Structure 1
């Protein structure tokens, strides 16, 4: 049974945790510093960049035709609704990193008439290179922290656009990029020795084959419940956990609830944060409470509005269970 399935129970209980976890990896027990990163618990954010979404931009390629038609018919009024249900994070990349987030869920697209690439979710967000440089600057200040960048949705990108993105990644992170190595050797002590701080997962086989600095998306399977009800989310996460992780890979558990068109209409004057965020976090915390880390344990757990509740501390606590 899940913690609760009624958003009304938590509407007025939006506790935010602002603890500084900016160097939590360097403070892990020595035993865990020698473990592959797939065997430790890592907090992540869902649609990590969505705090940058801009109401003044067009509807993004990731949006269904129904959304495009609504915005075409009703203009800014409809766009505000899209915005309210597309924003999944309040914190900047730097703020997320300071709180302890180490996995970023990234979706990128071209924009008509613009040479740059942009983050997208419903609408367009910030230019990709600007955000990557912000992340790189943070890694310079925290040389023992390791970050996962998961480029898992790449919209309307031709080969030249992919090469542009890869060139930006190589230029920004340079020697900090961890090349594809045996996953069993991706332990913190190994990465520290090499000066590697960033693992990039790129979900495009053709591009990955030409760049040893990019990890295939196959190394990062992700369980997306795709439901609107918290008990169903917990049940699906439990079912996948019981079934067991695929060997030799990292593993993402998505502690998120996904709105449908019906959901948006039912709560049309509200937002994803108001309706789903804390209820999902409370329930993913419930899911985690009897779990541990290790080859068969939890690895990367992600959520919306990661500062809410005790999401990040709950994930990090898994690394200190006896």
Structure 2
């Protein structure tokens, strides 16, 4: 679906890879805008592209006892979990190349109990997904090659965590993206942080770490209160769109980034119904997160193209399956920046 609000120039693959640089060239004042006034496309549960029925379960998973039932676990339970855990088709590198600038990271540490290399870190969503180290290395390579592009890494949740897990993860972050991290400064208004100001420092990665015990010590990491991300817990596309709009109208905090979660959330009955759908043609409903995301896509794109609140106030917007419908969601969010001038 094509919307007239999206300039043709923002809909080409070549444009997405360095869309911030191109917008700066087309509209020089774009680069002096606060990051809070720029619309950034992001991905929800960003690192799940490798999830399959063969993926390992988190040690913390509430479904672990079901998945461990002989035969039934591997043949029935894990395939269902996988269908409702996979949220992206592209890995982190591919997402950046196609315009994604915000990454929602859920991290687990490998150990013998989840069948993974000890002390290694993995992205996850109910199941273990992509290794974290290559994803961070890809970010470092991307920002080195694209100095005009700003990347957000939101380390939101932590699983299978041990006493020294934070220290080990901090070491990995320092080794990979450390030189590119833009430091947090509580005394500095967020309105002063612009593409130009962070590019001049050659530090174009903003990393949010949702643990105060860590951010109190490591000032290169941004604290969890620097970002607001309301979760709209609904299976209904209409409720999702209405709530997204209402949240924006209520006003964004002045000194924090703001995430609009353009995603539907399944409940237990949704998943159970999907199992019935596999057995009966008379039972209707989404069979996995992909179909659920598709139900929301058209209402979300319509909202982005026509609603004045969305067009003017969105900061960061995240979605499942960001490559769907020829990257329509990404193009819509990038296009909002053009409409603001």
Shift of 1:165: 0.9
- The alpha-carbon distance between structure 1 residues 59 and 45, as it changes in their structure 2 partners (threshold 3 A), is same
- The alpha-carbon distance between structure 1 residues 62 and 46, as it changes in their structure 2 partners (threshold 3 A), is farther
For residues 14-93 of structure 1, the aligned pairs below 5 Å read: 19-20=13-14, 21-28=16-23, 29-61=27-59, 63=61, 65=62, 67-73=63-69, 74-76=72-74, 77-93=76-92
Q: Deviations along 1:23-75, whole A, 9 cap, x unmatched?
A: 01112222221011111000000000010225334322563x2x333323321
C-alpha contact (below 8 Å) 1:149/1:200 kept by paired residues: yes
Give the gaps of 5 or more residues in structure 1: 1-16
Q: Could you tell me which residue of structure 1 aligns to residue 247 of structure 2?
A: 240
C-alpha contact (below 8 Å) 1:253/1:300 kept by paired residues: yes
C-alpha contact (below 8 Å) 1:44/1:104 kept by paired residues: yes
Q: Deviations along 1:77-127, whole A, 9 cap, x unmatched?
A: 210111111000001212111110000000011233222111110110122
Q: Deviations along 1:258-313, whole A, 9 cap, x unmatched?
A: 1111111212243211x21222222222232323689x711000000001131011
- The alpha-carbon distance between structure 1 residues 293 and 166, as it changes in their structure 2 partners (threshold 3 A), is farther
Q: Could you tell me which residue of structure 1 aligns to residue 177 of structure 2?
A: 173
Q: Could you tell me which residue of structure 2 aligns to residue 279 of structure 1?
A: 295
C-alpha contact (below 8 Å) 2:87/2:320 kept by paired residues: yes
For residues 123-162 of structure 1, the aligned pairs below 5 Å read: 123-162=127-166
For residues 288-303 of structure 1, the aligned pairs below 5 Å read: 288-289=304-305, 290-291=307-308, 297-303=313-319
C-alpha contact (below 8 Å) 2:249/2:309 kept by paired residues: no
* Bigger relative contact order, structure 1 or 2 (CA pairs below 8 A, ≥6 apart): 1
Q: Could you tell me which residue of structure 2 aligns to residue 3 of structure 1?
A: none
Q: Could you tell me which residue of structure 2 aligns to residue 312 of structure 1?
A: 330
How many residue pairs match? The answer is 302
* Farther off after superposition, 112-121 or 201-210: 112-121
C-alpha contact (below 8 Å) 1:291/1:318 kept by paired residues: no
Alignment of 1:265 onto 2:272: yes
C-alpha contact (below 8 Å) 1:39/1:293 kept by paired residues: no
| Greater C-alpha radius of gyration | 2
* Farther off after superposition, 176-185 or 278-287: 278-287
TM-score, length-scaled by structure 1? 0.88
Q: Distance in 2 between matches of 1:306 and 1:281?
A: 10
TM-align CA RMSD:
1.9
Give the gaps of 5 or more residues in structure 2: 1-10, 113-117, 279-286
C-alpha contact (below 8 Å) 2:48/2:91 kept by paired residues: no
Q: Distance in 2 between matches of 1:143 and 1:196?
A: 9
TM-score, length-scaled by structure 2? 0.84
* Farther off after superposition, 107-116 or 69-78: 69-78
Shift of 1:237: 0.8
